[in-house]
Amino acid sequence: MKQRVGLLARKVGMTRVVEKNRVLAVTLLKVDSCVVRCKKEGVRTFLQIGGGVKKKVSRPLQGHFNKHGVPFFGKLCEFSVSEEGELPEGAVLKASHFISGQFVDVTGISVGKGFAGGMKRWGFRGLPASHGTSVSHRSHGSTGHRKDPGKVFKGKKMAGHMGCATVTVQNLKVLDVLDEEGVIVVAGAIPGSNGSWIKIRDSIKIPLSDKVIWPGVFDLSLERTSDSSSVGENV
| 82-109 CB burial, b ≥16 within 10 A, e <16 | eeebbbebbbebbbbbbeeebbbbbbbb
In a domain, 212, yes or no: yes
In a domain, 130, yes or no: no
pLDDT at res. 233: 35
In a domain, 71, yes or no: yes
In a domain, 138, yes or no: no
With beta carbons less than 8 A apart as the criterion, state whether 31 and 5 touch. Answer: no
3-state secondary structure of 176: strand
Q: Which domain holds residue 190?
A: 7-124+157-219
> Phi and psi (nearest 5°) for 84?
-70, -20
Across the chain, which has 235 residues, the per-10-residue mean pLDDT values are 90 93 95 80 82 84 82 86 84 90 96 96 94 92 89 94 97 94 95 95 91 82 47 34
Q: Which residues pair with 187 in a beta bridge?
A: 26
In a domain, 226, yes or no: no
Rounded Cα–Cα distance for residues 100 and 19 (Å)? 13
Report the chain's mean pLDDT, rounded to a whole number. 87
Residue 231 CB: number of other CB atoms within 10 A? 15
In a domain, 231, yes or no: no
We report the CATH number of the domain holding residue 95 as 2.40.30.10
pLDDT at res. 174: 96
CB-based contacts of 44, cutoff 8 Å, min separation 6: 80
pLDDT in tens, 89-120: 888 888 999 999 999 999 999 999 999 999 99
In a domain, 196, yes or no: yes
pLDDT at res. 216: 79
What pTM, to 2 d.p., does this model score?
0.82
In a domain, 174, yes or no: yes
pLDDT in tens, 63-75: 888 887 777 888 8
Counting residues of the chain whose pLDDT is more than 90, the rounded percentage is: 54
Q: Which residues pair with 90 in a beta bridge?
A: none
Q: How many folded domains does the chain comprise? A: 1
